[in-house]
Amino acid sequence: MLSVRDFAIGFRRDDRDLIAVDHISFDVEQGETFVIIGESGSGKSLTGMSIAGLQPQTSHVSGSIRFNGRELLNRPDAELRKIRGREIGLIYQDPLGSLNPVWPVGDQIAEALVAHGLATKPVAAKRAVEMLERVRIPDPKRVANDYPHEISGGMRQRAMIAMALAAGPKLLIADEPTTALDVTIKAQMLELLAELKRELSLTIVLITHDMGVVAEVADRILVLYAGRIAEIGQADAIMLRPSHPYTAALMTSAMISEATPKHDLNAIIGNAPGLGGFPPGCRFHPRCPKAEEDCRTIEPFRRRLGEVDLACHHPVTAADAALLVEA
């Protein structure tokens, strides 16, 4: 369904080109939940938004993004507007900031149907209530007339899902859809997405840094670090047998440490590099206990190793995992 090839996005600053996402390639198959993970600043959201042509206006892009055989990159915005909503739906990570504060929730859901010529305003208003009911919002008629600030965070996120799916897209891009939700609401949201995926035959690209979410929903996982692909493969292989030191550190850092009550979480050593501050060779080498001289000087290229593709000179083994984090 989706084919990304040699995609790069960067910004021009002080006569320098700063590359934020650095020539990545991947495919998303119809009907799967494809999860992109990584720390903040790794390029996850930039990649997801660029699929729908919503990259920042100050950026420059290259490569190819093909959706159902059609090139999306650098298409006129008028053409992309026909695709966004109708064929590609989006859920943003901040529903309160993404919803219009001066429009009732129902009107914002109905707008997509009217804009794409799928319904008249009265029919769209009725459909909006039906979508709110479908995403399990109690008293959907009342909520349709409420403004975003009048409903809870969990209900706002459900309204965003209703809006994203109102026009019947087949690809859903969800950017951190469980951010700022408590554990109970998060579980309900994941259950809802899984149910809608089955009912509507959706393909989902999910962007997150929450390993619990990944474990619940992922079919395949793409691990991004400093704008480059570290590892990509089936979810079970990556979650249970990570091969890249960064992936292993991510998985371990999500686990509760039993060492002492003083240290609740494991943390990856050091900090991710900022834009324009990428080191030579492997970008993870300053934080990697397995780094050797070739890691510091030679860029690792993506290769097949067992069940995954990864870019690493010295993949980890099970015995290495405990050395990759500090308590």
Please, what is the average pLDDT of the chain?
89
Expressed as residue numbers, the domain containing 298 is: 240-323
Is 315 among the domain residues? yes
Q: What is the pLDDT of residue 261?
A: 54
Report CA 265 to chain centroid distance, whole Å. 23
Asked if pLDDT for residue 137 goes beyond 80, the answer is yes
Looking at residue 85, which CATH number applies to its domain? Answer: 3.40.50.300
Is 104 among the domain residues? yes
Cβ neighbours of residue 179 under 8 Å, at least 6 residues apart?
A: 93, 94
* Strand order from edge to edge, sheet including 2-13: 16-28, 2-13, 59-67, 70-71
Q: What is the pLDDT of residue 327?
A: 36
| 69/82 Cα distance (integer angstroms) | 16
- Judgement on whether residues 116 and 191 belong to the same structural domain of the protein: yes
Q: What is the pLDDT of residue 140?
A: 95
- Judgement on whether residues 64 and 123 belong to the same structural domain of the protein: yes
CB 164 within 8 A of CB 89: yes
Average pLDDT rounded to a whole number, residues 312-317: 90
Asked if pLDDT for residue 19 goes beyond 70, the answer is yes
Is 230 among the domain residues? no
Residue 145: its H or E element:
helix 140-145
pLDDT band at 319 (very low <50, low <70, confident <90, very high): low
Residue 227: its H or E element:
none
| 198/20 Cα distance (integer angstroms) | 34
- 74: alpha, beta or left, given left = phi > 0 and alpha = psi -120 to 50? left
pLDDT band at 258 (very low <50, low <70, confident <90, very high): very low
pLDDT digits (tens, 9 = 90+) for 163-214: 999 999 999 999 988 876 788 888 888 888 999 999 999 999 999 988 888 8
pTM of this structure: 0.90
Average pLDDT rounded to a whole number, residues 144-167: 92
- Judgement on whether residues 171 and 254 belong to the same structural domain of the protein: no
Is 23 among the domain residues? yes
pLDDT digits (tens, 9 = 90+) for 43-102: 999 999 999 999 988 999 999 999 999 999 989 988 998 999 899 999 988 888 889 999
Is 103 among the domain residues? yes
Average pLDDT rounded to a whole number, residues 227-234: 96
Work out how many domains the chain is built from and give that number: 2
- Judgement on whether residues 62 and 205 belong to the same structural domain of the protein: yes
Q: What is the pLDDT of residue 146?
A: 96
